[in-house]
Amino acid sequence: MPNNIVVIGAGVSGLTTAYLLSQDPENRITVLAKHMPGDYDIEYASPWAGANYMPVGKEGSNHHAWERDTWPALKEITEKYPEAGIHFLDALIYNRKKDQETATGKWFSELVQPNPWYKDVVPDFRNLPESGLAPDIDNGQVFTSVCINTAVYLPWLVGQCIKNGAVFKRAIFKHIADAADAHHSGQKADVIVNCTGLSSKFLGGVLDEKLLPARGQIVVVRNDPGPMIGLSGTDDGEDEALYLMTRAAGGGTILGGSYQKNNWDPLPDPNLANRIMKRAIAIAPQLVKEGQGIEGLDIVRHGVGLRPLREGGPRVEKDEVAGVQIVHNYGHGGFGYQASFGCAETAVSLVREVLRNKTRAKL
Ligand code: FAD
């Protein structure tokens, strides 16, 4: 008997989980979502991400393990499948101790450690000599990371799933248990995988009050600064951020950003956009021609995404709602890509547990 599995959500969490599940020919998968790759919407975080691998999980936490376990998968895809839209890029990380207590400083606190756990995970990690740092920087480091062109990578994941037999459909659910009747076979699903991100706050049967948005505003430009850069904070506001990354395969350069908790505003703030662009040029003057300011930036678009942050960390666990077996995989804040494979592997092992129990119940 095949396993009928419904995955709700086609962001990076749903697609990575469906991709891993689809590698088992016993699994018959339907992916159902309100938004699909190609859409840009405030309810859909994944297309807005940079996205890169800059670990932020506290040492010893699940978050740490999920990020650690994701690097080998991203590295393998980058090396084996250039059509997935990921490339290796140096990441330069700068820390100012004065940012420690700000929203952005807390978010980046693990990333900017001079001796972080991830130094043994990513290639070529090294501390930058103090003599070469700007006067306001306390420590800096460089390592090989990846930058993902989300507009290429998300459709690539869809393609891999379809190749393995998964079926994709649009649907909007008011209650999670309703998805059990939406499997493409017409039969009841054995298990629902919930990858609805921030919307799990409002989805019937879940209604997770621990979820909150961390608003990220970005500017996408055609200019190319070379390596990726991240700084622990800014002097413009405690929840503003400074990072730049050039996406693979002509995806442009993302200038960020902000980390505004509980801010749901979907529209780009033009003043914040100005600050983002000015800060980017200040830290990477090579972005524009000598003597130029923000008029030297060639803007593709302004954007806003809501990171699906969850107090206490992501929810990757089993549940039962109205007699329907559920595996949750949501609440990945600003690290949904860099923890994607780790979280999806945990979700897949939980799905296997549910399916084993189903088989036992039938014997
Ligand atoms: P989403 O991408 O939000 O997907 C949710 C899916 O569920 C959608 O398909 C939606 O339509 C569907 N859905 C929701 N409710 C329903 C419903 N009721 N019925 C049917 N379907 C439903 N992460 C990194 O790792 N690295 C980065 O560099 C990075 N940079 C970022 C920069 C910005 C500006 C932002 C905003 C985020 C960034 N992130 C980054 C975080 C990352 O984008 C998110 O953690 C990730 O995209 C969350 O993915 P998801 O699949 O869980 O949710």
ipTM of this complex prediction, to 2 decimal places: 0.99
Q: Are 328 and 316 in contact (CB under 8 A)?
A: yes
* Number of domains forming the structure of the chain: 1
- Residue 316 in contact with ligand 1 by CB distance below 6 A: no
> Strand pairing partners for 243?
230, 256
Ligand 1 atom 51: the closest Cα is on which residue?
11
pLDDT digits (tens, 9 = 90+) for 261-301: 999 999 999 999 999 999 999 999 999 999 999 999 999 99
pLDDT of residue 363: 66
pLDDT digits (tens, 9 = 90+) for 132-148: 999 999 999 999 999 99
Secondary structure of residue 149 in the 3-state scheme: coil
Check pLDDT > 70 for residue 92: yes
Average pLDDT, the chain: 97
Measure Cα distances from 359 to 3, 49, 354 in Å. 10, 39, 9
Distance 70 CA to ligand 1 centre (A): 17
Distance 337 CA to ligand 1 centre (A): 9
Distance 154 CA to ligand 1 centre (A): 11
Confidence of residue 1 (pLDDT cuts 50, 70, 90): confident
Measured from the Cβ of residue 75, the count of other Cβ atoms closer than 10 Å reads 18
Distance 44 CA to ligand 1 centre (A): 5
d(C-alpha 212, C-alpha 267), whole Å? 18
**Which CATH number covers residue 240?**
3.30.9.10
What does residue 343 show for φ and ψ, rounded to 5 degrees? -65, -40
d(C-alpha 113, C-alpha 245), whole Å? 20
pLDDT of residue 332: 98
Minimum mean pLDDT among 72-76, 203-207, 354-358: which range?
354-358
Ligand 1 atom 36: the closest Cα is on which residue?
305
Average pLDDT over residues 97-104: 94
Residue 205 domain boundaries: 3-362
pLDDT digits (tens, 9 = 90+) for 160-181: 999 999 999 999 999 999 999 9
- Residue 51 in contact with ligand 1 by CB distance below 6 A: yes
d(C-alpha 47, C-alpha 36), whole Å? 10
- Look-up: residue for tokens 């990757």? 316
Confidence of residue 81 (pLDDT cuts 50, 70, 90): very high
